Amino acid sequence: MLIVLIALVGFGVYYFVSNSNEHGTHSHNEEIYTCSMHPQIIKHEPGKCPICGMDLIQKVTEDQPVDSNAIAALLQPANGFVVGDFETTTVKDTVIASTVNLPGTVTYNPNSSVNVAARISGRIEKMYVHRKFQRVTKGQKLFDLYSPELQTEQQNFIYLIANDAQNATIIKAVKQKLLLYGMSTSQVNALATAKKLNPVVSIYSPANGIVDGTENSDSQNQTRQQTSATEVLRLKEGDYVTKGAVVFKLVNTEKVWAVFNVIQGYNSLVKINQSIQIKSELDANEVVNAKVNFVETQLDPKEKTNRIRVYLDNEKLKYPIGLRLEGSMETNPQKGLWLQKESLVSLGNKKVVFVKKGEGFQAIKITTGLEINGFLQVLDGVVVGDRLAQNAQYLIDSGSFIKTK
């Protein structure tokens, strides 16, 4: 009996406490209205202050959310969602091709250049070419070289002819050595006839070309001397050159390169043997039809571009080195999701479109690729059929505060 009594008392206490908590919670959550000028006025429903007649305002309790006045709350994005009726466009799954214009210049073809090297060590006695970019022809005398080593070999050759003329094998070997040292066949024959030493050998140009430097211009750091049109060669009479050193470099202007820059991201549109139309600044009306011969895979770190080459025949010297060119080519058709450029707004670190959602437009971050003919390729963010605000600029309240999803 005692146990039953204790149980009844405990149940009664529990019921009383539960009712008290529910009543307290209800009272705590009950809306309370007061006057901003007379806070002693408390009512449980909207109305007017009996003292001043002002509208009562709701009093914020601990469980009710409070509107923050912090700067972070005040600067919340105003256009994460924009209510309104604006013209729309759609994301399209299609194929787009266009014409790409590429800036370029004419440069030397390094594969057609010729190096004139010293076949024997010696001192330059006389130079016949004095300036950089001077044009020379095949067989033209470039410089005279005095060589003690050559003089020794000539003495051996004359001695053998005078004292051991029957030893044809050795005489032939010495004669071949003199030819390898740079003497011509006529000079060797004259030496055998006159038997007079001539330790100076003349070096002739092996091909047509333009002088593009000397051995000293690459190996020595000297003060550059320039005239109004040409640059003086650094190699002078009296300079000593070693065997095998490149004395002159001749570049060929009959075969040149047209080098064009392709902006980053568009190199995938250009292929080898793709047709290209070339115009020069000398005559914008003359169009040369050519094909892409080489596509460089390395990105130029300074210009942020890839380069392509077109090999041009320049026998008539129509393209001076350094001439600016403009290349025009039809790109390969690109299939993908495309949207109009006007429907996107760039915020620097992200790109945003406004997608139609119910009675308004939701700001959505997207990832884009190529830009062709006023259309942008969409890589991520929207799908086919999404309706976008046709002009995103109309929906911007403050670009820096746009919040995307």
| Domain segments of the chain as ranges | 1-29, 31-66, 81-96+334-401, 100-110+253-330, 114-220+230-245
Query: pLDDT tens for residues 140-174?
Result: 888 888 888 888 888 888 888 888 888 888 888 98
* 73 vs 124, residue with greater confidence: 124
Residue at token pair 């539960």: 18
CA distances from 116 to 67, 72, 137, 249, 322 (A): 84, 73, 13, 6, 24
The number of C-alpha atoms within 13 Å of 210 and in the hemisphere containing its C-beta is 18
- Tell me the C-alpha distance between 201 and 187, whole Å: 9
Q: What is the pLDDT of residue 76?
A: 47
Q: What is the mean pLDDT of the chain?
A: 77
The structure's pTM equals 0.56
Asked whether 266 and 102 are in contact (CB, 8 A), the reply is no
User: The tokens of 80 are what?
Assistant: 């994460």
| Homologous superfamily of the 100-110+253-330 domain (CATH) | Efflux pump adaptor protein, beta barrel domain (2.40.30.170)
Residue 6 scores a pLDDT above 90:
no
81-96+334-401 and 100-110+253-330 share one fold: no
pLDDT digits (tens, 9 = 90+) for 232-283: 777 788 888 888 888 888 888 888 999 998 887 677 778 888 889 999 888 8
pLDDT > 90 in the chain, percent: 4
pLDDT tens per residue, range 286-313:
888 999 999 887 777 777 788 889 999 8
Q: Give the tokens for residue 388.
A: 């976008």
The CATH classification number of 81-96+334-401 equals: 2.40.420.20
Ramachandran area for residue 24 (φ above 0: left; ψ -120 to 50: alpha; else beta):
alpha
Point out which residues pair with 353 in neighbouring strands: 364
Q: What does the DSSP 8-state code read for residue 383?
A: -
64 against 89, higher pLDDT: 89
pLDDT digits (tens, 9 = 90+) for 330-388: 877 778 888 888 888 887 778 888 888 877 888 888 888 877 777 888 888 888 888 88
Residue 226, pLDDT score? 37
Pair 83, 360: CB distance under 8 Å: yes
pLDDT at position 258 is 92
- Pairwise pLDDT comparison (84 vs 147), residue with the higher score: 147
Contact status, residue 51 vs residue 38, Cβ threshold 8 Å: yes
CA angle centred on 254, ends 251 and 260, rounded to 5°: 85
Q: Note the pLDDT of residue 311.
A: 92
- The Cα 48–Cα 267 span in angstroms is 73
Tell me the C-alpha distance between 245 and 265, whole Å. Answer: 43
- Contact yes or no for 54/48 (Cβ under 8 A): yes
% of the chain at pLDDT higher than 70? 80
For residues 332 and 267, the answer to whether their CB atoms sit within 8 Å is no
- Say which residues have a Cβ less than 8 Å from residue 223's Cβ, sequence separation at least 6: none
DSSP string for 55-95: BPEEEP-TTS-----SHHHHT--S-SEEES---EEE-EEEE
For residue 125 the two structure tokens come to: 């006695």
Q: Give the lowest-confidence range in 5-14, 28-37, 90-99, 142-151.
A: 5-14
Query: Given a cut of 50, is residue 400 above it in pLDDT?
Result: no
Task: Tell me how far apart the alpha carbons of residues 103 and 83 are, in angstroms, rounded to a whole number.
Answer: 45
> Radius of gyration over alpha carbons of the chain, in Å?
44
Q: What is the amino acid identity at position 176? A: Q
State yes or no: pLDDT of 75 exceeds 50.
no
Q: Mean pLDDT over residues 167-193, rounded? A: 86
